[in-house]
């Protein structure tokens, strides 16, 4: 039996350094855009995982990674980022489990406000978080100052 079990059921596990390339492949399979020449380089993700290993969480069936979420903690709020599940394992509650685990990790860090940025046309993600108690704060607009392309 490998260290991730016999393949029975879904296991949520902290990601290891050598899982990072699989994360990039999973995002691509899930249709989540990445910036492989910018913030999603292997080096950047590896460094971020080292800084906050509790916030890099994977869903595994045996050795196969079927879902991922990356939390972040800005010291005031917790953020749920880059949640994705492979297409052939959707609507099985895996994202909901990952979200709950990420919230738990952020709560353990003392965060009591947990946020997610979701594109307006991403209905699946909106329904997911709304079902878990998140409310869209219409009074806030998202601003970004983009000082380089493809970062
Ligand atoms: C969004 C995503 C992560 C959901 O993963 P999932 O494992 O299928 O979600 P779950 O099975 O945990 O769904 C939980 C609830 O979310 C809602 N939901 C999930 N997918 C949905 C869809 N396609 N349409 C409507 N509601 C949906 C439902 O309320 C669902 O509960 P139900 O199945 O009992 O009705 C997945 O569709 C995905 O990877 N999308 C592409 C990546 C992405 O957009 N990530 C978000 C970036 S912010």
pLDDT of 93-147, one tens digit each? 999 999 999 999 999 999 999 999 999 999 999 999 999 999 999 999 999 999 9
Which burial class, exposed, middle or buried, applies to 132 when counting CB atoms under 10 A from its CB (0-12, 13-18, 19+)? middle
Query: Does residue 35 carry a pLDDT above 70?
Result: yes
Q: Give residue 148 CA to ligand 1 midpoint distance, Å.
A: 32
**Quick one: pLDDT band at residue 2, thresholds 50, 70, 90?**
very low
- Identify the CA nearest to 23 among candidates 72, 53, 59: 59
For ligand 1, is residue 85 a contact (CB within 6 Å)? yes
Q: How far apart are CA 8 and CA 5, in angstroms?
A: 7
Q: Which CATH architecture has domain 11-131?
A: 3-Layer(aba) Sandwich (3.40)
Give the pTM. Answer: 0.95
Contacts of 51 (CB under 8 A, 6+ apart): none
Of 128, 132, 136, best ligand 1 pocket probe by most atoms within 8 Å of the beta carbon: 128
How high is the pLDDT of residue 8?
63
Nearest-CA residue for atom 30 of ligand 1: 128
pLDDT at 100: 98
């Amino acid at each position: 039996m490998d260290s991730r079990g016999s393949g029975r059921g879904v296991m949520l596990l902290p990601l290891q350094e050598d899982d990072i390339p699989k994360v990039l492949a999973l995002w691509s399979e899930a249709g989540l855009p990445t910036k492989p020449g910018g913030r999603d380089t292997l080096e950047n993700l590896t460094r971020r995982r080292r800084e906050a290993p509790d916030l890099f969480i994977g869903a595994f069936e045996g050795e196969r990674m079927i879902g991922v979420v990356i939390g972040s903690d800005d010291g005031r709020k917790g953020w749920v980022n880059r949640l994705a599940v492979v297409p052939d394992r959707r609507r099985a509650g895996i994202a909901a489990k990952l979200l709950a685990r990420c919230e738990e990790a952020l709560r353990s860090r003392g965060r009591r406000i947990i946020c997610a940025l979701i594109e307006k046309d991403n209905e699946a993600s909106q329904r997911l978080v709304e079902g878990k108690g998140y409310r869209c704060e219409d009074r806030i607009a998202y601003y970004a100052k983009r000082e380089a392309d493809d970062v």
